[in-house]
Amino acid sequence: MCSYEALQFFKYSNRYIINKMSSSDLELLKSFRKNTEWFDNNCQTLKNYDGQFIAIHKESVVDSDDDYRSLANRIKKLYDKSLYVTLVTIHGTVSPAK
């Protein structure tokens, strides 16, 4: 899955909504876009996070965990809403079921 392609779809299919967003919402969307693009461009360098959820803030991994809830509870206390959280899976490997 390419998050940048998903964002492009959002951008073109919802142009009216974007025009009606507040400036703070637009800043969050821009931050999300930068973080998702950073992830897409650097996913091969994140192999040591395989099978973990990572939190990306300002185009950098700031935290990771095997458990999404644990990660979410930690990061919501420390960072604003401009985080991108995703599960890292390296193609060609299979993580054991938990």
Residue 93: inside a domain:
no
- Are 37 and 29 contacting, i.e. CB atoms less than 8 angstroms apart? no
Does 73 map to a domain? yes
- Examine residue 92 and state whether it is found in any structural domain, yes or no: no
| pLDDT (tens digit per residue) in 24-65 | 777 888 888 898 899 989 888 888 999 899 999 889 999 999
Termini Cα distance of the chain: 22
Is there a domain that residue 10 lies in?
Answer: yes
Domain count of the fold of the chain: 1
Q: What angle do CA 49, 53, 54 make, to 5 degrees?
A: 75
Query: Is there a domain that residue 95 lies in?
Result: no
For residue range 55-96, list pLDDT tens digits in order. 998 899 999 999 998 998 888 888 766 677 888 887 644 343
Distance CA 42, CA 14 (A): 27
In this structure, is residue 33 part of a structural domain? yes
The model carries a pTM of: 0.67
User: What domain range includes position 38?
Assistant: 3-87
List beta partners, residue 61.
56
Predicted pLDDT at 67: 92
